Amino acid sequence: MSTIVDVDTGRVLGIVDGRDSRGVGAWLKARPAAWLSCIETVGIDPSAAFRKALRENLPDAAVSVDHFHMVLLANDMLTQVRQRVSREQNGRRGLKSR
């Protein structure tokens, strides 16, 4: 399921079955054109399906990744780099057993 939320108010605007572009796109198409034209910025998780639905239905809206997912991706990348550097320098990961 996908939840569509107004980030200014925290109010749930809609809940869509699935996590694909068709569901989100259908939800957006069911909204009035005047309402859609007022949307300037959309915050999403980094999903290609969501991005596709937005490109098709809100082509003029700016898209940004929400802070939770941005921090999650940054932490994952930091862990990968830290582990790679440790393996390169020590030939292994973690502490050397005694």
pLDDT in tens, 12-44: 999 998 888 888 999 999 999 999 999 999 988
Q: How confident is the model at residue 96 (pLDDT cuts 50, 70, 90)?
A: low
- pTM reported for the whole predicted model: 0.66
Percent of the chain past pLDDT 90, that is, above it, reads: 45
User: CA-CA distance, 51 to 64, in Å (whole number)?
Assistant: 10
Token couple for 85: 């550097």
> Residues 38, 13, 25, CA angle at the centre, nearest 5°?
70
Residue for token pair 């930091």? 78
